[in-house]
Amino acid sequence: MDPVFCALVGQVAIVTGGARGIGRAIAELFARQGADVVIADMQLELSITTAAEIAETYSRKTLALQVNVADFESARSMVDQVIATFGRLDILVNNAGVTRDTLIIRMDEADWDIVIDVNLKGAFNCSKAAIRQMMKQRHGRIVNISSVSGQAGQVGQTNYSASKAGLIGFTKALAREVASRQITVNAVAPGFIPTALTNDLAPELKEAILKATPLGRMGKPEEIASAVAFLASEEAAFITGHVLAVDGGMVMM
């Protein structure tokens, strides 16, 4: 077997928001590389279906869980169930996210709160729940899914941009806290990727995004998954506190 595709054998990975889109692509690649995968999502039926399909395709153990990442008890219960089932936890991908796009003058407080609670507080909740087990193991990988919106900001996304920028700061701070236990914490910042979150963007906004992307095309969920899998691998053991942009050159820093 190609060593690239057995790189994660024996490891257990949680992917939040893993039932579809970028999360599913990440979970599938992890399984392809030999990991057992937990599909953690608000949509339980879709999680069950996704987990079953991945298990059948890649002959890996999977677990489907309904999780509200914005609630710490739900996140802690998720980790407890993973440890009870698999006995370990090696990789956490904080991918769950929502959007409530509108100009700030029209934005309700609820639109702000839910985006911050899911995208930013969710990463805090899941990381806090997972970190104790990783510290015991003296090994772990946390990968947070940020966004070009968190690096450069986008009109109509003050809530989303703030949550994703906050996630970058969270990544760097947590990376410093846990490095002595051989736990790495990194972020991937996708550009424009066609998913359920981007389906409702206005055509003129999509056109503007493509014009701002030097490679002149949209990305693919699989391209984000490849970056996440690298950061989760032993090949990236000396990388921590880093933000890897996978955006076709949209944001060059």
**Positions marked catalytic:** 160
Q: Which alpha helices (H) appear in 68-212, and where do they start and end?
A: 72-86, 109-115, 122-137, 148-152, 158-178, 203-211
Running DSSP on this structure, what letter comes out for residue 17? T
Q: Which of 225, 253, 252 is nearest to 91 (CA)?
A: 225
> Strand 12-16 and strand 36-41: pairing?
parallel
Contact 213, 248 (CB under 8 A): yes
β partners of residue 94: 144
Running DSSP on this structure, what letter comes out for residue 174? H
Q: Which of 117, 185, 115 is nearest to 154 (CA)?
A: 115
Q: Which residues contact 136 (CB under 8 A, 6 or more apart)?
A: none
